[in-house]
């Protein structure tokens, strides 16, 4: 089976509503679903998160990061962390844990390495998106971070199926099937975003990245995502662009804003970015 056949097989599964997630991811999906319930309060969310040690650790770490230092730091319990972060940021934490859980089931070294690189890229894009939204635009930083974290979740899903379909690792480009009118990767990515209950606004921003609507200075959520994706020091291992194209995009993503360039602003907020990045990665 070649890559095109493998993708079309997964597309067919997706059309039948048969996305395959590891068993241990289901609990995290349940938390994501609970956070979208208007009846879910801080106490209920804290109880759910305490049942997942990895998620609990991430929640407390981000609440203690520099980005949230206005609260004084020193957070040591889940309820306080949930109160500080709010449900918008909690969705980012849950999404991050889900992607880590998906990657941890893989034993094949080549696939595992790609997943680790993809997660490192996603974490960088999430942290950069937060800082771009906070210091350059009027967009909500927490939503921007969530968008950056989940923008490659479709790629995570496909890599999670690569042990079953090794051809998915091939560096070949597949054309759309006549009934899709888009690439299989985008079709599958959209289905995974829907399964994770990603809000429509975030999905729309990710589609801006898919279809390359670049603009500087970034203003919309989609434009922030494109800029963060281009500026990430770690490229996506599944980016279809050539290395020289990725480098050219990184070099061209700059502009003047109030006597400072985009890169100057990110350099000035590097401590904040690195703090968020470390809390996502460790």
Q: Which residues pair with 260 in a beta bridge?
A: 257
Q: 24: domain CATH number?
A: 1.10.3210.10
User: What pLDDT does residue 158 have?
Assistant: 94
* Local confidence band at 72 (pLDDT 50, 70, 90 cut-offs): low
List the beta bridge partners of residue 261. Answer: 256
Mean pLDDT of 15-32: 80
Determine the Cα–Cα distance for residues 149 and 147; give it in Å rounded to an integer. 6
| Residue 7 scores a pLDDT above 90 | yes
Domain residues for the domain of 118 are 3-281
- Give the pLDDT score at 243: 87
For the segment 26-50, the average pLDDT, to the nearest whole number, is 86
Long-range contacts at 40-46 (CB < 8 A, ≥ 24 apart): 40/87, 42/79, 42/82, 42/83, 43/79, 45/82, 45/87, 45/90, 46/78, 46/79, 46/82
The pLDDT > 70 percentage for the chain reads: 92
Could you write out the DSSP letters of every residue in 188-247? HHHHHHHHTT--HHHHHHHHHHHTT---SS--SHHHHHHHHHHH-SS--TT--S-HHHHH
How many domains, the chain?
1
Length of the chain: 282
Nearest to 233 by CA among 279, 270, 282: 270
Q: In this predicted structure, which of 69-73, 106-110, 230-234 has the lowest mean pLDDT?
A: 69-73
Q: What is the pLDDT of residue 176?
A: 56
Q: What is the pLDDT of residue 73?
A: 63
């Amino acid at each position: 089976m070649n890559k095109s056949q493998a993708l079309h097989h997964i597309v067919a599964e997706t059309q039948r509503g048969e996305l395959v997630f590891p068993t241990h991811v289901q609990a995290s999906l349940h938390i994501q679903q609970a956070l979208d319930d208007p009846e879910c309060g801080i106490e209920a969310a804290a109880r759910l998160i305490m049942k997942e040690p990895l998620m609990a650790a991430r929640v407390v770490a981000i609440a203690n990061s520099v980005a949230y230092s206005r609260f004084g730091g020193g957070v040591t319990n889940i309820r306080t962390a949930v109160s500080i972060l709010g449900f918008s940021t909690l969705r980012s934490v849950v999404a991050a844990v889900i992607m880590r859980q998906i990657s941890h089931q893989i034993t094949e070294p080549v696939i595992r390495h790609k997943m680790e690189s993809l997660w490192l890229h996603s974490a960088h894009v999430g942290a950069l998106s937060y800082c771009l939204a906070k210091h350059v635009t009027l967009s909500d930083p927490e939503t921007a971070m969530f968008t950056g974290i989940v923008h490659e979740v479709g790629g995570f899903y496909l890599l999670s199926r690569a042990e079953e379909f090794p051809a998915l690792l091939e560096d070949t480009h597949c054309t759309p099937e006549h009934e899709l009118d888009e690439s299989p990767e985008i079709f599958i990515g959209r289905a995974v975003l829907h399964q994770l209950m990603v809000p429509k606004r975030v999905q729309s921003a990710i589609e801006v990245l898919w279809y390359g609507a670049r603009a500087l200075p970034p203003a919309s959520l989609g434009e922030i995502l494109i800029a963060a994706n281009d500026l990430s020091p770690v490229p996506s291992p599944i980016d279809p662009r050539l290395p020289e194209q990725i480098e050219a995009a990184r070099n061209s993503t700059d502009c003047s804003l109030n006597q400072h360039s985009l890169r100057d602003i990110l350099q000035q907020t590097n401590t904040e970015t690195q703090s968020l990045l470390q809390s996502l990665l460790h």
